[in-house]
Amino acid sequence: MTGIFQVDARPRLDPDTITPLVALVETITDHDGLRPFSEHVWLHLKQGGDDRGQHLVARDEHGTIVGYAHLDATDPVDGPSAELAVSPDARRHGLGQQLIEVLLEHSPDGRMRLWAHGEQAGAAELAARMGFARARVLWQMRRSLYAPLPRPLVPAGVEIQPFRIGVDEQAWLDLNAQAFASLPDQGRWGIDDLTLRIREPWFSAAGFLMAWRDDRLVGFHWTKVHGGGATHDGHPHQPIGEVYVVGVEPSERGSGLGRALTLAGLQHLRALDLGQAMLYVDATNTAAISLYEGLGFARWDTDVLFRR
């Protein structure tokens, strides 16, 4: 490895680029033990991107793809955000820094938010060297599904039903925007964001629980199942359930609906014969962390947002 790389920026990815990129991400995932990208970036990478993103593809002197970065510059308040990954064989040759420099060149206002998945020393060192400061922390928490689960106590007048494709989309989008008004990465989802996930192989309407008070959607718990296939060494990867998104209408907060929905989703995951459940929560959200710890979850890993 000579340390000389060609980085090309493009608004979309063609199929001939997507295939080796997906293979690169899987190689990095196997090496590091975790996927280097958020679900949002991973989904758009596999689909070739959309009009809101910019793709940076890095190749070595042989033309082999050895790095990738994704730039989303659509948030005028918090500024552009980016994620990047480098092949294990191409690390410590300056490619990470080169990708960040090109990302900064494509930032419309010079600002940048950079996500690092997993609290890895190399990512922190690179971010500090490039003038980024630690700005936000997400915890990954886990709990055993073999341990006892309390019975959900659903507030009076509320009924929990599975998501109905073709019926519930707009009601969910409206409530999601209310529930996550202070978290634009989640609250600004549109119909395309929802449809993209409904089309994913992991989607299950039975695991997308909707809480209705008469004809008004007041809460939801969207669960997800990861894994279940074979890893690169041929050994089976045990699937794990996820508390993907839990949202409650502001007027229902404090009623116990969030806890009831969380428990109902965990019961659904356990009924699938899964042994573990995971979730992500902002490290500053002490109320949610307290709720999850009370349900048996414990901190497992950390994602860090750096800002410049």
Can 6-131 and 141-302 be said to share one CATH topology?
yes
pTM: 0.76
The model's pLDDT over 31-78, given as tens digits with 9 standing for 90+, comes to 988 889 988 888 889 888 776 779 999 999 999 999 999 999 887 777
Domain ranges of the chain: 6-131, 141-302
pLDDT class of 134 with cuts at 50, 70, 90: very high
Beta-sheet strand order (sheet of 240-248):
6-10, 53-59, 65-72, 81-86, 113-117, 298-307, 133-144, 276-282, 240-248, 216-226, 208-213, 158-162
Q: Is 225 helix (H, G, I), strand (E, B) or coil?
A: strand
CATH hierarchy code of domain 141-302: 3.40.630.30
Tell me the per-residue pLDDT of 191-249, one tens digit each, with 9 for 90 and over.
999 999 999 989 999 999 999 999 999 999 999 998 754 343 343 457 899 999 999 99
Tell me how far CA of residue 194 lies from CA of 89, 104, 176, 187, 294, in angstroms: 36, 30, 11, 12, 30
Task: Flag the least confident range among 58-67, 154-163, 178-187.
Answer: 178-187
CATH number of 6-131: 3.40.630.30
Contact yes or no for 304/136 (Cβ under 8 A): yes
Give me the pLDDT at residue 232, please: 37
Query: Is the predicted pLDDT of residue 167 greater than 70, yes or no?
Result: yes
Give the per-residue pLDDT at 44.
83
